[in-house]
Amino acid sequence: MTRRTTERFPATVLASALLLLAVSGVAAAGGRPDPLAERVARGQYIFEAAGCQGCHTDDAHGGQRLGGGRAITSVYGTFYTPNISPDPIYGIGGWSDTAFIRALRHGVSPDGTQLLPVFPFTAYTLMDNQDLLDLRAYLRTQKPVARQSRPHDLQEPLAFRLMMPVWRQLSLTVGPLDTNPLRSAQWNRGQYLVRALGHCAECHSPRTWSGALDESRLFSGNPQGLNGEHAPNITPDAETGLGRWSEADLLLLLELGLRPDGDVVGGAMAEIVRNSTSRLTLADRRAIVTYLRSLTPLRAEPAPQP
Ligand code: HEC
Ligand code: HEC
């Protein structure tokens, strides 16, 4: 009797193993996962960490995902984000991987257009090549949107693009980001998430007369940021920054958007939490906190009175 059960057992195991293989789509040859599927999954994580969706989707007007058209207001006028879906005509489906990398690393599109830094390529330039390629692989799997990109509505539409080569000389440090061998792996991961992917400095730093980030005051807040919003000081200054926040306070903010005073963050940050930081692994949120807490404390410029 016992003999019969042991004989039947391997057949059942084999059947369920085959079923598992079929269900999970793992290639039968060697049982290894499909490298492309793995790259696309990695690319999705990069896409979320970098917050591409929020800017390139006009959620407020029912716009299609990655179809662009979202308005970004600034002192220079209104920018409308372009279509970055894989549509070959209206989106970036026709771009080569090299062209895609060039746009994010150097801020130049395939036809030579000088992209404006309202697109935070000044941060994405710090990404490493593999992450850019994985991000590209993920974008290719998204739904094409046949929608023409809307032109910006700026006071001096041409002047900006003409100024860009000079601006680039003065203000762009081309990446990728160097790792700091004197710091831990966790700190370096945090630096990469904050500086390159999360582009946190783009909102949380004051700008110089030319609109470039004020490198000497990074992360000390911007009283008049994107869409006119005040982005607070996120350096560890005790009075005007995050000096009194514990590690747990910061983790809670990045996961749920909750502040230590029980308030929830609003505006642009609510979106960053929803689309980006809440979707990261706990290890990555910890890395961000480690990096933020290591910054030199800086005092914020006073916010404008309402
Ligand atoms: C803060 C908003 C914002 C975020 C975040 C953002 N973009 Fe953009 N992006 C823009 C704007 C605005 C432009 C148009 C710039 C211009 O006209 O020069 C643009 C332009 C582009 C272009 C050039 C398109 C073309 O037709 O020339 C590409 C490609 C692009 N973005 C991809 C991305 C990817 C990938 C991400 C995430 C890693 C991302 N963007 C995140 C606002 C954003
Ligand atoms: C698109 C602009 C934008 C980006 C990008 C951005 N933030 Fe913010 N952040 C804001 C704004 C605006 C607020 C204030 C929200 C409020 O007062 O409700 C804020 C609030 C915060 C706060 C709460 C500070 C306080 O004193 O209440 C922290 C912490 C923070 N951001 C961290 C980050 C980190 C880390 C990143 C990068 C992963 C990041 N932010 C990226 C705009 C941004």
pLDDT at 34: 81
Going from the C-alpha of 179 to that of each of 14, 103, 189, 283, the distances in angstroms are: 47, 23, 9, 18
**Residue among 44, 219, 226, 56 nearest 145 (CA):** 56
Report, as ranges of residue numbers, the positions in the chain whose pLDDT lies below 50. Answer: 1-29
- Measured in Å, residue 96 CA sits from the centre of ligand 1 at 16
Q: Are residues 41 and 149 in the same domain?
A: yes
Strand order in the sheet with 71-74: 71-74, 77-80, 153-154
- Measured in Å, residue 232 CA sits from the centre of ligand 2 at 7
pLDDT at 163: 87
Please check whether residue 41 is in contact with residue 69, taking contact to mean a CB–CB distance below 8 angstroms.
no
Q: Are residues 50 and 166 in the same domain?
A: yes
Residue whose CA is at the smallest distance from ligand 1 atom 34: 52
Separation CA 55–CA 68 (nearest Å): 7
Residue 23, in any domain of the structure: no
pLDDT at 20: 41
What ligand has the least distance to the C-alpha of 226? 2
- Indicate whether residue 8 lines ligand 2 (CB < 6 A): no
Q: Are residues 149 and 251 in the same domain?
A: no
Residue whose CA is at the smallest distance from ligand 2 atom 20: 269
- Measured in Å, residue 77 CA sits from the centre of ligand 2 at 23
Kindly state the DSSP code that residue 143 receives in the 8-state scheme: P
User: Which of 139, 171, 203 finishes a domain?
Assistant: 171
pLDDT at 31: 63
pLDDT at 116: 92
Q: Are residues 276 and 163 in the same domain?
A: no
Q: Are residues 191 and 167 in the same domain?
A: no
pLDDT at 306: 53
Q: Are residues 141 and 264 in the same domain?
A: no
- Indicate whether residue 229 lines ligand 2 (CB < 6 A): yes
Residue 154, in any domain of the structure: yes
Q: Are residues 155 and 212 in the same domain?
A: no
Count of beta carbons in the 10 Å neighbourhood of residue 202: 18
- Measured in Å, residue 6 CA sits from the centre of ligand 2 at 61
- Indicate whether residue 194 lines ligand 2 (CB < 6 A): yes
Ramachandran angles phi, psi of 77, nearest 5°: 130, -165
pLDDT at 38: 95
Q: The tokens of 51 are what? A: 């917050």
What ligand has the least distance to the C-alpha of 260? 2
- Indicate whether residue 269 lines ligand 2 (CB < 6 A): yes
Q: Are residues 200 and 162 in the same domain?
A: no
Going from the C-alpha of 266 to that of each of 22, 126, 278, the distances in angstroms are: 45, 28, 15
- Indicate whether residue 290 lines ligand 2 (CB < 6 A): no
**Residue among 188, 190, 83, 76 nearest 139 (CA):** 83
Q: Are residues 208 and 110 in the same domain?
A: no
Residue whose CA is at the smallest distance from ligand 1 atom 24: 82
Residue 24, in any domain of the structure: no
How far is residue 19 CA from its own chain's centroid?
Answer: 37
What ligand has the least distance to the C-alpha of 257? 2
Q: The tokens of 152 are what? A: 């910006």
Q: Are residues 230 and 163 in the same domain?
A: no
Going from the C-alpha of 75 to that of each of 122, 146, 278, the distances in angstroms are: 19, 30, 30
Residue 299, in any domain of the structure: no
Separation CA 183–CA 238 (nearest Å): 24
pLDDT at 304: 57
Atom number, ligand 2, closest to the C-alpha of residue 271: 1
What is the domain range of residue 282? 185-293
Residue whose CA is at the smallest distance from ligand 2 atom 34: 200
Residue 155, SS3? coil
Kindly state the DSSP code that residue 195 receives in the 8-state scheme: I
User: Which of 171, 198, 226 finishes a domain?
Assistant: 171
CB within 6 Å of ligand 1 — which residues? 50-52, 55-56, 72, 79, 81-82, 84, 92, 103, 109, 115-116, 118-120, 124
pLDDT at 8: 44
Residue 227, in any domain of the structure: yes
Q: Are residues 210 and 152 in the same domain?
A: no
Q: Are residues 149 and 246 in the same domain?
A: no
- Measured in Å, residue 58 CA sits from the centre of ligand 2 at 21
Q: Domain total for the chain?
A: 2
pLDDT at 209: 83
pLDDT at 256: 98
